[in-house]
Amino acid sequence: MGRVRRGFRLAALSWQVLREQPSLLVVPLVATVVQVAAAVTYILGIGEHRLDGGSASAVIVKYFPLYFAVSLISAFASAVVVTAANARMSGAPVSLTSAIGRSLAVLPQLIGWSLLSATVGTLLRLIESRVPLAGRIITAIAGIVWSLATFLAVPVVVLEKRQPLGTVRRSSRLLRARWGEALVSDGVCGLMVFVVALPLLALAFLAMAASLLLGVVLAVGVAGGAIAVSSALNGIVLTAAYRFAAFGEVGGAFTEEDLGLAFRNRHGE
């Protein structure tokens, strides 16, 4: 329970940062719309309206370009949030336009990182589709290890401008050096948003009884808002986690005590 409470604490502090710059909500919302548009365009473009055409491996390979595009869109949106959050925590807030400009400056690194991430994800799925149950368990564990090793990847790419393999090594070293509740708070952000959005979604479905169009519009609006808030909060948590893990720095609503609890050195240093 202690870890969960500290996770909620970090999530609440991230909310305070978001309240200071609510324009950050626009970024993940637009990214979600672009991802959906890219998916629809790609599926229609290749003339494949069903995912069961051919073997599982063939389908996975066929959709690799889309997987890469979606990964890049997500990485860029996270980069904008990280850039803006880092500037605010450093005491030099930037506008959303400036944050986008700074993120474009590291677009080559983001493309490289997204390509590596999409490739690893695709390889894991290919292996999973070809091996028996025991192999699938090993693949699932490998996926978890990869997710943990790259937990701080986007802040490393954005703030250190590292290449893909260097990003993985740096993110992994930071996580090994400092264990803590930022991993928990990352999930807590989504949980908090889900709890708030659930009754709103229920109202949207009830509204469908009176007007299908109104209910659908409300449901889409609530879902989009939930995605935007959750993504923005997670980006702020990642930024605070990176700053403290890499340099012991705090900023914004975060204090050394908050992040000291969240990142305790493995060796008790």
**pLDDT tens digit string along 54-70?**
567 787 888 899 999 99
Question: Which 8-state DSSP code applies to residue 55?
Answer: -
Beta bridge partners of 178: 265
What SS3 state is found at 119? helix
**What number is the average pLDDT over the span 157-180?**
85
Identify whether the C-beta of residue 55 lies closer than 8 Å to the C-beta of residue 75.
Answer: no
- 205 has pLDDT over 50: yes
**What number is the average pLDDT over the span 150-167?**
92
CA 162 to chain centre: 18
Among candidates 266, 59, 83, which has minimal Cα distance to 176? Answer: 266
Least confident range of 97-101, 108-112, 180-184, 205-209: 180-184
Identify whether the C-beta of residue 154 lies closer than 8 Å to the C-beta of residue 171.
Answer: no
Among candidates 71, 108, 100, which has minimal Cα distance to 84? Answer: 100
**pLDDT, position 266:** 45
**pLDDT tens digit string along 213-226?**
878 888 888 888 88
Tally Cβ neighbours within 10 Å of residue 174: 19
Among candidates 206, 224, 225, 208, which has minimal Cα distance to 216? Answer: 208
**pLDDT, position 2:** 52
Segments making up each domain of the chain, as ranges? 2-265
Identify whether the C-beta of residue 21 lies closer than 8 Å to the C-beta of residue 84.
Answer: yes
**What number is the average pLDDT over the span 86-103?**
90
Tally Cβ neighbours within 10 Å of residue 86: 25
- pLDDT class for 251, splitting at 50, 70, 90? low
Which position has the token pair 């993504």?
231
Q: At 86, which helix (H) or strand (E)?
A: helix 64-89
